[in-house]
Amino acid sequence: MLNPFFLQGSKTEQSLVQDLINEQLRMYGVEVYYIPRIYVTERTVIKEVIESKFENAYPIEAYVNTYDGYGGQGSILSKFGVTPIDDLTITISKERFENYITPLIKNLPNIKLATRPKEGDLIWFPLGDRLFEIKFVEHEQPFYQLQKTYIYELRCELFRYEDEDINTSVSEIDDNITQEGYIQSLTMIGAGVTATATAAGICASGGVQFVTISNRGDGYTSAPQIKFSAAPSGGTTAVGIATLIGGLVDCHGVKEKYKVQGVELSNSGCGYTVAPSIVAVGGEGAGFAATTTIANGTITSITISNGGSGFSTDPIVTISGPIGGGTTALAHAHISSAGVVTAIYLTNAGSGYTSIPTITITPPYSSGIGTYQYNETVTGSVSGTTAIVRDWNSTTNILQVSNISGTFVNGDVLVGAASSASYQLRTFSTDNVVDPYADNDNIETEADAILDFSESNPFGNP
C-alpha cells in the first residue's frame, strides 16, 4: 500500500514539478525557434511528403542535452564530398508547447498534429546558426513521475535542404538556405539602348545578291571559311560568313555534327559579270555546295554606328526598299554575350537600289523597374516558368532563383508577385547545383569527359 500521506499524482504536485522544470529551462536553457512543417503535396500511397513549406517560427526555451558538443558522427569524407552528420538533442517543456505553440498553429492550413512537436519539423539552433530536423520525439522520459510526463526530448539531425520553401520572415533563419539547393543565376536587363546602322554603299552592277545552298555538307566542328571566286579587275570580291546547324539525329539515332545552314554576306562584292563560284574551306567537314545570284543595285555591306545594349536575342533588322522597284534587302543582326550588336550581315543584298536605304533595328527591352524581394515568386512572361527569388543584385542585375518550375527563355520578362519588379532576362545558367558539402558538379564534369552521351553512344551503335 502506498503512503497515505503523499497523494502521488495530485494536480498540485504535478503543477509544482512542471513549474520547477519550466523555471530551470528558463535559467539554463537556450532560446531556439520551433518551425512547423506545412504539407503542400503528399503522395497518396505511402504518404511521402514531396513538397513542403516552413513559414512560421516560434521562440521557445530549450535545454541542450548534448552540452559537450554536437552528437552524431561529425563530418565524414566520402567520394561524394564532405558530409556533416551532426546530431542535437534538446529538451522543451510540454506545458509551454501546449499552452503557447499549439494555439498558434492548430488552425493553420496543412499543419498536422499541432498538439505536440512532430518529426519533420525544424529547430533553429542559435548558438551555431543552424537548422536541425526533428527525427524523433521522446515524450515518456522521465517515465511518468507523479503519474505524468512534463517534457519533450527532441532528437534532431542537421537539416539537409531539398528545395523546401523556407520563408519565416526571421532573417537569421532564412539566410541558412540562401546559397543551398538548385540555383539558377539570371542576368537581367537594366536599361537597353537601341542600336543604329547604315548601309556602307551601293553596287551599281554585278553584286552578289544571295547564296542558294544545294548541299549543306556534314561533319563540321566549326564554321568553315566561305570563299568566292575573285571579281574582275576593278571589282570587289564578295565575303561570306557560314552559319551552322547542329544536333540533328540521323536514321540510326546518331547525333550528327554540324551542317552549313546558310551563308550571310559581310560584303556582297561588286563588278561581277557572271555569278561567282563558292566553296567552303576548313571546319573539318565536307560536302558543301552552293550557287550564287548576282544583281545590279545591291547593298555592299552594313556598318554599325552604335551597337546599343541590353539585347537578349538578336534584334530584327529592317531595310527600306529601293525607289522605283527592285528587291528589298534582308539582313541578320548578331549580338555578343554582353547584349551588344556586334555584326549585321546581309542574307539578301537586294536589287535596284540607287541611293542609300534607311536601316532600323528593333529596340531592346526599355528598362527594368523595382527591386525583387527575397523568397517572392517571379513568373516569366513568355515561358510561364515560375521560381523563388534567392538574391537580387541591382548593381550587376544578377537574379538568383530556386524552385524553378519549367525553363526560362531569353526575352522572358520576370515579374515579382510581391514587389511587382519587372526585368527582362538576357542570359541564364542551366546547371548550378549549390551544395557546400558535396562535389557533384565536379564529379559530373569528370564523368562526362569519360562517357559523353551528348556526342554519341559511348558503347557503340547497333
For 351-374, the pLDDT digits (tens) are 999 999 999 999 987 778 899 988
Shortest CA distance to 428 belongs to which of 441, 416, 410, 415? 410
Q: What is the pTM of this model?
A: 0.59
Q: Which residues pair with 75 in a beta bridge?
A: 84
pLDDT tens, residue by residue, 11-39: 888 899 999 999 999 999 999 999 999 98
CA distance 18 to 421: 51
Element of type H or E holding 75: strand 71-78
How many DSSP H helices and E strands does the chain contain?
5, 32
Residue 422 and residue 368 in contact, taking contact as beta carbons nearer than 8 Å: yes
CA distance 217 to 160: 51
Nine-digit cell string for 153: 526530448
**Strand residue runs (E) in 96-190:** 122-125, 130-138, 151-158, 165-166, 181-182, 184-189
Q: Which residues contact 268 (CB under 8 A, 6 or more apart)?
A: 203, 207, 208, 209, 238, 298, 299, 300, 301, 346, 349
Residue 310 and residue 192 in contact, taking contact as beta carbons nearer than 8 Å: yes
Q: Which residues pair with 62 in a beta bridge?
A: 30
Residue 315 and residue 335 in contact, taking contact as beta carbons nearer than 8 Å: yes
pLDDT tens, residue by residue, 94-153: 999 999 999 999 999 888 889 999 999 999 999 989 999 999 999 998 888 888 999 999
Q: Which residues pair with 433 in a beta bridge?
A: 182
The pLDDT, as a whole number, for residue 327 is 95
Nine-digit cell string for 114: 499541432
Widest distance between CA atoms in the chain: 127
